[in-house]
Amino acid sequence: MHQYIFSHIVELLDEKGISKEDWLSSLNKSGTDKPDIDKSGIDIENTPFLTAVQADQVCSVAIRLYGEDNLGIKVGSRLKMVSLGMFGYALMTSSTVEDILKLLLRYNRAVLPSMDIEVERVSSHVQLKSKGDHLPPDLSKFYTDTLYSGLFENLKVLAPHCLSSAQLHLRYKEPIDSNLHTAVFGEQITFSAADCAVVFEQSALCEPIKSSDPIAQDIFRRQCDRILANDTHAGLVSEQVTRELLSFHSHFPTSAVVAQRLSISESTLQRKLAKEGTKFQQLLDQIRYRLALEYLQTTDLPIAEIAALLDYDNPANFRKAFKRWSSTTPSKIRDNLKN
């Protein structure tokens, strides 16, 4: 999690008379696994990025202390891209709304490391979906509200017309007082939805960004990549494994090979992943699913070739796996794009 988000939580707690010292003191008494924060030698108040575990711990305590369920919307509404450093400048200098969504996918883990984000095209619409099923409901809601309110507030400045037909789907129930939701997101909100997503018209993604600068954008993007590559602490083992798998693109390595590249034993790798609530195969499946969607939605490659690119020995195994990941088939994804 970017330190800038942390700073706004501090401000909002302070407005309710809860000092940063009270917050951190409550964190010490909360029964969290302290080695993830203090004994690692990481100063969470001055570190540019918090890992997923650190962010989950400090945000869970903040949510409890704040005592209202709208903390995420209030945090997101204060997020300004210019204050996100290189990440913010990379987003601001994008050419179109679609480029912004692509960068959100690329730098998802740097901003909200516990949330999974994906872009899905369905007919004439594009959905930016977020998932945090492994999180407690209050924490998942907090991250969801932070993500979407931050996105809406910044798009209102950078590309306001793209929001005129945008629809927001939220999995949680409509609050008794939804005035804040309406003020931030507009009227087109569906509560108790099947998924959390912002649904854009396909044409809205072509809207140019007012502050677009292709040359600067390329420089900022490459600098962001360097920051992430050199940020050795911001990376749970699962995040490091994900980066390793993505670097191969196809013919994915075994867990033993990845462990060797991370300079740990395979058993240690599996144990650390289990502690983070995941497994090597789950991470590999996530990568394959993400790449499969990209190939299906942005290329005309035959499904058999996509299966080969994703390291499947035959298309039938790929189709079976894809159905398990998404409850649909590769062919239906393609058919939806044509309708």
Residue with tokens 């997020």: 79
Q: What's CA 18's distance to the chain center, in Å? A: 28
Q: Is residue 328 in some structural domain?
A: yes
Tell whether 55 and 198 lie within a shared domain.
Answer: yes
Tell whether 195 and 299 lie within a shared domain.
Answer: no
Look at residues 206, 225, 246 and tell me which one is the last residue of a structural domain: 206
Tell whether 115 and 246 lie within a shared domain.
Answer: no
Tokens, residue 311: 């390291």
pLDDT at 250: 61
Tell whether 199 and 241 lie within a shared domain.
Answer: no
How many domains in the chain? 2
Q: Is residue 314 in some structural domain?
A: yes
Q: Is residue 110 in some structural domain?
A: yes
Tell whether 33 and 175 lie within a shared domain.
Answer: yes
Tell whether 324 and 257 lie within a shared domain.
Answer: yes
Tell whether 71 and 192 lie within a shared domain.
Answer: yes
Write out the residue range of the structural domain in which residue 30 sits: 3-206
pTM score, two decimals?
Answer: 0.67
Q: Is residue 37 in some structural domain?
A: yes
Q: Is residue 214 in some structural domain?
A: no
Contact assessment for residue 306 and residue 296, using Cβ atoms and an 8 Å cutoff: yes
CATH number at residue 99: 3.90.1520
Tell whether 70 and 170 lie within a shared domain.
Answer: yes
Cα torsion 133, 76, 13, 8: sign = positive
Start-end of H helices in the chain: 3-15, 20-28, 52-66, 71-78, 85-92, 97-106, 108-111, 137-158, 179-185, 214-230, 237-248, 255-261, 266-275, 280-298, 303-309, 315-326, 330-338
**CA dist., res. 63 & res. 71, Å (int):** 7
pLDDT at 233: 42
Tell whether 259 and 187 lie within a shared domain.
Answer: no
Q: What is the dihedral of CA 79, 80, 81, 85, to 10 degrees?
A: -90
Tokens, residue 164: 């005129």
Tell whether 24 and 140 lie within a shared domain.
Answer: yes
**CA dist., res. 325 & res. 306, Å (int):** 16
pLDDT at 335: 82
Q: Is residue 220 in some structural domain?
A: no
CATH number at residue 274: 1.10.10.60
Q: Is residue 226 in some structural domain?
A: no
Counted residue by residue, the chain has a size of 339
Look at residues 206, 228, 257 and tell me which one is the last residue of a structural domain: 206
251 Rama sector, left if φ>0, alpha if ψ -120 to 50, beta otherwise: left
Side-chain half-sphere of 200: how many Cα atoms within 13 Å?
25
**CA dist., res. 305 & res. 323, Å (int):** 17
Start-end of H helices in 206-313: 214-230, 237-248, 255-261, 266-275, 280-298, 303-309
**Side chain identity at 135, as an amino acid letter?**
L
Look at residues 185, 206, 227 and tell me which one is the last residue of a structural domain: 206
Tell whether 50 and 138 lie within a shared domain.
Answer: yes
pLDDT at 120: 86
Tell whether 173 and 58 lie within a shared domain.
Answer: yes
Q: Is residue 216 in some structural domain?
A: no
Q: What is the mean pLDDT of each run of 10 residues along the chain (339 residues)?
A: 80 90 73 42 56 81 92 93 76 91 80 84 88 86 95 92 94 94 96 95 92 84 68 61 73 89 87 83 87 82 90 92 89 79
pLDDT at 49: 67
